[in-house]
A and B are shown apart, each in its own frame.
Chain A
Amino acid sequence: MSERRLADLQAMWRIRAFEEKVRDLRAEGPIVGSVHLCIGQEAIAVGACDVLEPEDALFATYRGHGWAIARGVPLEPLFAELMGRANGVNGGRGGSAYFTAAEYGFHGENSIVGGGAPIACGAALAGRFDGSGRSAVTVFGDGAMNQGAVHEAMNFASAFDLPVVFICENNRYSELTPIADMVRGSRLADRAAAYGMPGHRIDGNDAESVRFHVRDALEIAREGGGPTLLECMTERLVGHYIGDAENYRRPGEMDRIRRREPIARLRQALLADGVPAGEIDAVEAGARAEIEAAAAAALTAPFADPATAREHLYA
């Protein structure tokens, strides 16, 4: 138990340390443009990716750095991508909101809200014909639940029993607007019933709970039982994007969020397990060292070569 918890902690620290470094690099200048951090939401990616098979397809959003890392994409090319370097995972073509690394089963971020959901249906559909046994996971936010493409995808997957897991990261806000103000029933998982698929609202700040439910959903999917919707309750510890003034936060809200955030919680659990504090802290230190090294390496890489800007448009 403690071993798995330590592994989860390490996986989450790699993501958080990465994101914190990204925030610094964005402030210092090497990273430009819009960046959406997943600080506070790490447990979902860590729990889910732990039970994905290499052949499975994963479609994330612009808040997808953590998903790429959890799927095993190496850190240096991710940093390099954010800094527009030649060795970036997409050679500088993607940027923060549009990472893609299919060779790691990471079929990409997407910066159109809901855009990945129908594509995930197609990845699952292809698995029916290519003998791969592939399942597809699509990740989106609470706000995306109001996007037509997501509704269409849910019905499409249900009607054809496609092996798709719809993972909704409910951080209670769509940009600056509370989801509670934009829907009548705020239990988004309840919508699954309308499509005839299982739907569960789960603790998205607990990697173990996410792992359990995603494994279950994948099992159903692989046995031909069709899609599942998982509404993972979580919180952003940061703004929607870097630079968000977060004027929408209520007094005391951030304190409450900090108490429930996944890394602090797991630390408490490990201490309760009797794991020495030093061992727990070493996990953070190790992750930070790894991140610093990757960022430093990316910083010395050459910028993307302008001569290549027009390559890869057509076959």
Chain B
Amino acid sequence: MPDTSPTPETRKLSYGEAVNAALHRLMEELPETLVYGEDVGVPGGVFGVTRGLRKQHGDRAFDTPISESAILGSAVGAAMMGRRPIVEIMWADFSLVALDQIVNQAANVRYVSGGRLRAPLTIRTQQGNAPGACAQHSQCLEALFLHVPGLRVCMPSTPQDAYDLLVTAVHSDDPVLVIENRTLYFGAKEEVVVGGPVLPMGGVRERHAGSDATVVTWGSITHRAVEAAEALAREGIGLHVIETPWLNPFDTGTVIASARRTGRLAVVHEANVTGGFGAEVVARVAGAGVTLQAPPIRVGAPDVRMPAAPTLAQVLVPDADRIAGEVRALVRGGSR
């Protein structure tokens, strides 16, 4: 791919601004990109993440009706014809009204055509709980998409990854879901290198060093896992926190190597435990024959719907205290 990107520079950006910067860069360097979805054009997105794109790129950035099937299906069709659509589904929960276009359609294009067709579309969405959010605006659905071969899935948790992963996703010739998080959009500004090379998919981020247990995590809860690791470090418990922002492809090797070294494994995600991708991670480590000193644990939301009342949601969505408590018990043994 010809590198038309400008020389890298460092900017202070929030997570939302980093997504915006990536979109601006992508529309500039890839004339075949289109950016569309509900309220993304003239208003610039309900979270302001697509601001300025329409002004800069005119008709290539536009608003759509509230028609998720048409948004996703048209992205599949346009991608088959050589465009590179970047579509927004405002909440991951809303993708459920149009799953057909993702699962039955986008995921099949390359395989069934024997590689003669491709669907290089990127679906940007965001998910997770926030105070007061109702049961239809709180779900963490990554496992649903990870169950589907043919889709790539990533979940950035930092401004730098919000930028880099989106750039990688859009440059990919396969359908990619980039699952962001609205509680991060307006977070603190951090130094972000923009305009750098297109990075390969995959890889991990080592967020905390330690040798007593391996903690694998992704998405916004990464920040809580790190907080828990810092708290436990003060007690003399060292956690190796591995963030895996790419879930497909997933860097199984690094996780296995860490688990082998620490002898203990915890997977932390905001999604419900049963059928969550944490189960897959545990299975892969077990399948690799890693001998653990204690049974592996999964920390996630219990298998229940998400209530709106903060006092109820608080006891369901894992916080740093709960993560620390469960991992402490994993390391020290005995009851939690």
Contacts from A to B (Cβ < 8 Å): 31-34, 84-85, 88, 91-98, 110-115, 143-144, 146-149, 174-177, 181-183, 247-248, 303-306, 308-310, 313
Contact = CB atoms under 8 A, between A and B. Distances in A.
Given A112-B97, A306-B315, A146 B67 contact: yes
A207 B106 CA distance: 47
A156 to B, nearest CB: 16
Interface of B: 38-39, 42-43, 46, 63-69, 93-94, 96-98, 130-137, 302-305, 307-316
Given A176-B43, A177-B63, A304 B311 contact: yes
Contacts of B310: 32, 84
A309 B310 CA distance: 11
7 contacts: A92-B308, A93-B308, A97-B308, A110-B136, A147-B66, A175-B39, A248-B42
Contacts of B131: 32-33
B66 A309 contact: no
B66 A111 contact: no
B136 A112 contact: yes
Nearest to A248: B43
A128 B312 CA distance: 39
A310 B94 CA distance: 24
B127 to A, nearest CB: 14
B308 A177 contact: no
B311 A92 contact: yes
A96 B310 CA distance: 13
Given A93-B135, A313-B305, A308 B312 contact: yes
| Closest A-B pairs by Cβ, 4 of them | A33-B132, A95-B308, A92-B309, A84-B309
A177 B43 contact: yes
Contacts of A114: 66, 97
A149 B98 CA distance: 10
B134 A111 contact: yes
A309 B316 contact: yes
A170 B97 CA distance: 22
B97 A93 contact: no
Contacts of A143: 65-66
Nearest to B311: A303
Contacts of B316: 309-310
A88 B311 CA distance: 13
